[in-house]
Structure 1
Amino acid sequence: MMINHLSEIMGRKRLTQRDVVRGTGLAINTVAGLYRDESKRVDLDTIDKLCKFLGVTVGEIFEYKEDEEDEHVTQGN
């Protein structure tokens, strides 16, 4: 599963969704969906703009964590 840390990063930097929209040129719906962790897909250009504006890496915004179901499959259970 993917864990989205955008809202945490924005909180640490005291940025609003509007700040991110102004700084990146992204649509408010795009930023709001990512902020609320409701987005199912993210364009690479969007990730690029967020990383540049926030001064972070992709791995700081998104984290991969294996699902418990996946752990059982890989362990042969």
Structure 2
Amino acid sequence: MIKIHLSKLLGERRMTQAELANKTNIRPATINEMYHELIERINLEHLNRICKVLDIEVEDLLEYIPDKK
């Protein structure tokens, strides 16, 4: 499972989804899907823009959690 920490990161920065969408030029609907962890695929350019705007590394945004077997 991949955990997306966008909601936590935006909360820490007191930034809204709309502000992030404006600063990254990513559709608000796409930001919302990432925020609520509903997105199935992530565009690498989007990851690049989000990391640049939030001044983070990819591993700050995404976390791999192994499935329990």
Q: TM-score range by the shorter chain?
A: over 0.9
CA distance in 1 between partners of 2:57 and 2:17 (Å): 19
Runs in 1 of length 4+ with deviation above 2 angstroms? Answer: none
Which residue in the other structure is 2:6 paired with?
6
Which residue in the other structure is 1:50 paired with?
50
Larger Rg: 1
TM-score, with normalisation over the residues of structure 2?
A: 0.96
Work out the number of aligned pairs and report it: 69
CA distance in 1 between partners of 2:46 and 2:2 (Å): 16
| Gap runs ≥5 in structure 2 | none
TM-score, with normalisation over the residues of structure 1?
A: 0.87
Q: Sequence identity of aligned pairs in percent?
A: 29
Deviation for aligned residue 1:51: 0.3
RMSD: 0.6
| Gap runs ≥5 in structure 1 | 70-77
